[in-house]
């Protein structure tokens, strides 16, 4: 793993964020996450203004690791990087996007759930994969089964991860970190429940520590 991947793995959990009002919410959200001990965010391009949100978060909290998620095109990669994104996440494995990021020396986490995905990722020289959608694709049992022929990968499951199963995922040595939106739901963000977000982050950090100590 490179330094950025190690830093994300050390945090253990990556909030996956869709911001409807970036000008209003990006900075207080970034502060809430950092206050909870989770100084990382994947800002998805599913919402307009994702690049603005990335720019605002990185300017307000320069030590935070902010990346772009649900990236589908090279144009979005350019937009995200111009805004200050430090990593790219794609829902699926697109070799063109992977190579584009590699040329720019930018870390990319492509979504992979099949042996074919993993094999392609292996040929592309990747080390850490996003496993998406995790729960719907077989969860930890499938991740463990996939790691038998592909032991070289660390995995970041995203999709269906919650406080209830976070510890189970992180107790496996295959897991680098987990992506989740349970601490940054639309209700929490749109209603500006920053203290609740911080509290959920703190609970997540405790689960990370517990899982890593006993994993």
Please give the positions annotated as active site: 42, 130
Question: 113: Cβ–Cβ under 8 A, 6 or more apart, which residues?
Answer: 131, 132, 133, 137, 138, 142
Relative to beta strand 107-110, strand 87-90 is: parallel
For 56, 62, 111, 136, 167, the CA distances from 132, given in Å and listed in that order, are 27, 28, 5, 8, 18
Nearest to 99 by CA among 68, 84, 121, 131: 121
Give the burial class of 154: count Cβ atoms within 10 A of its Cβ; 0-12 exposed, 13-18 middle, 19 or more buried.
middle
**Residue whose structure tokens are 């406080």:** 163
């Amino acid at each position: 793993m490179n330094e950025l991947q190690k830093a994300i793995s050390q945090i253990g959990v990556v909030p996956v964020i869709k911001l409807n009002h970036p000008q209003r919410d990006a900075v207080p959200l970034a502060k809430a996450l950092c206050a909870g001990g989770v100084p990382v965010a994947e800002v998805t391009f599913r919402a307009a203004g994702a690049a603005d949100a990335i720019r605002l978060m990185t300017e307000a909290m320069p030590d935070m690791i902010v990346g772009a998620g649900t990236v589908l095109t090279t144009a979005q990669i350019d937009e995200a990087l111009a805004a200050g994104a430090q990593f790219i996440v794609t829902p699926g494995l697109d070799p063109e996007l992977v190579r584009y990021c590699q040329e720019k020396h930018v870390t990319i986490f492509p979504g992979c759930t099949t042996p074919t995905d993993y094999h392609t990722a292996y040929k592309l020289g990747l080390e850490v994969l996003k496993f998406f959608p995790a729960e719907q694709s077989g969860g930890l049992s499938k991740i463990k089964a996939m790691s038998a022929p592909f032991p070289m990968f660390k995995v970041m499951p995203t999709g269906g991860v919650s406080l209830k199963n976070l510890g189970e995922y992180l107790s496996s040595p295959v897991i680098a970190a987990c992506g989740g939106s349970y601490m940054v739901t639309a209700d929490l963000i749109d209603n500006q429940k920053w203290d609740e977000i911080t509290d959920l982050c703190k609970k997540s950090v405790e689960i990370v520590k517990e899982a890593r100590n006993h994993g």
